């Protein structure tokens, strides 16, 4: 069966510091991978998606970047965090063979920028 | 906005009662998915219903889809305290080749024992 792991689960970082959130998927190959952000009391907003190694698309301009160095690894990064980057970040995966497959989410990472 | 919108924003019921949550959206869709989120946790997938389907069941869950009204409902029968969570609907646009989901803000369900 497929599993998705995301870490760290919680993170408190000062303004201006770098960020790295990591996500890995097991039990599948060539998945579509996603990073979403959830602000307090809000729905989820898609930040980045990837259909393959090295292929990253950004949905919204922001202080963050994403990379996919391996098929099942997706990393969310920032060189200098802003207060507004605080939130709940969720990685998700989907079978990439046909459109319309179910999207599965990880447990999320709480980021607080202070 | 292409987001789904859940209604009501909050729902409070007693154990054993049924809970109904509604979702409206604005675009033509490939499918609509319902998710559950416990406080501070990730999203758990509940049901995916495709645009050519009208109803799906999974255990105590029943989802309907009316594409003419651009709306969906999630019914939880015989609710339990453990069903307390936020419930989100998410739509995938018709013609999308990628699973870009548009989420609503969710319904917060509280089930009292």
- Dihedral pair phi/psi, residue A11, rounded to 5°: -155, 130
Which residues are CB-contacts of B111 (< 8 A; sequence separation ≥ 6)? B13, B14, B15, B17, B19, B79, B80, B81, B82, B83, B84
Chain A residues in contact with B101 (beta carbon < 8 A): 44, 46, 103
Which residues are CB-contacts of B93 (< 8 A; sequence separation ≥ 6)? B2, B27, B28, B29, B30, B100, B102
pLDDT greater than 70 at residue B33: yes
- Give CA torsion, residues A49, B41, A63, A45, to 10 deg: 50
Strands of chain A (E only): list them: 3-7, 10-13, 19-26, 32-38, 44-52, 55-58, 65-70, 73-78, 87-94, 103-105, 109-113
Nearest CA in chain B to A58: B100
Nearest CA in chain A to B98: A99
Mutate to test the interface with B, among A1, A11, A36, A44 (most CBs of B within 10 A): A44
Q: What is the pLDDT of residues A26-43, one digit of tens each?
A: 999 899 999 999 987 677
Nearest to B49 by CA among B69, B27, B29: B29
B100·A46 Cβ contact <8 A:
yes
Neighbours of A64 (CB within 10 A): 21
Instruction: Determine the Cα angle at A10 with ends A71 and A74, to 5°.
Output: 10
Instruction: Determine the Cα angle at A109 with ends B23 and B63, to 5°.
Output: 20
Which of B30, B45, B100 is the closest to A102 by Cβ? B45
Nearest CA in chain B to A44: B103
Which of B45, B90, B97 is the closest to A104 by Cβ? B45
Whether omega for the bond prior to residue B27 falls within 30 degrees of 0, making it cis, is no
B103·A106 Cβ contact <8 A:
no
**pLDDT at res. B40:** 85
Nearest to A93 by CA among A60, A49, A57: A49
Mean pLDDT, rounded, of chain B:
91
B30·A103 Cβ contact <8 A:
no
pLDDT greater than 60 at residue B1: no
A94·B48 Cβ contact <8 A:
no
Nearest CA in chain B to A99: B97
Mutate to test the interface with B, among A47, A103, A109 (most CBs of B within 10 A): A103
Which residues are CB-contacts of A97 (< 8 A; sequence separation ≥ 6)? none
Rounded Cα distance, A67 and A57, in Å: 10
pLDDT confidence tier of residue B97, bands split at 50, 70 and 90? low
Rounded Cα distance, A22 and A74, in Å: 6
Nearest CA in chain A to B92: A100
Q: What is the pLDDT of residues A51-66, one digit of tens each?
A: 999 999 888 777 899 9
Give SS3 for A96.
coil
**pLDDT at res. B96:** 66
B35·A105 Cβ contact <8 A:
yes
Neighbours of B51 (CB within 10 A): 16
pLDDT greater than 70 at residue B78: yes
């Amino acid at each position: 069966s497929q599993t998705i792991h995301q870490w760290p689960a919680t993170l408190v970082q000062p303004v201006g510091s770098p960020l790295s959130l990591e996500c890995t998927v097991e039990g599948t190959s060539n998945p579509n991978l996603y990073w979403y952000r959830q602000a307090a009391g809000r729905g989820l907003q898609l930040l980045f998606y990837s259909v393959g190694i090295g292929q990253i698309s950004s949905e919204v301009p922001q202080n963050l970047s994403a990379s996919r160095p391996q098929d099942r690894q997706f990393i969310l990064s920032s060189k200098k965090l802003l207060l507004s980057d605080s939130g709940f970040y969720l990685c998700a995966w989907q079978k990439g063979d046909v459109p319309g497959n179910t999207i599965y989410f990880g447990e999320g990472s709480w980021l607080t920028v202070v | 906005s292409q987001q789904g919108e859940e209604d009501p924003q909050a729902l409070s019921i007693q154990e054993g009662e049924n809970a109904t949550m509604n979702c409206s959206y604005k675009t033509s869709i490939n499918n609509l998915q319902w998710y559950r989120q416990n406080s501070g946790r990730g999203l758990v997938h509940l049901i995916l219903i495709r645009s050519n389907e009208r109803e799906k069941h999974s255990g105590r869950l029943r989802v309907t889809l009316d594409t003419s009204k651009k709306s969906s409902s999630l019914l939880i029968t015989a609710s339990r305290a453990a069903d307390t969570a936020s419930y989100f609907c998410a739509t995938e646009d018709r013609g999308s080749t990628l699973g870009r989901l548009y989420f609503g803000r969710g319904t917060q369900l509280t089930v009292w024992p």
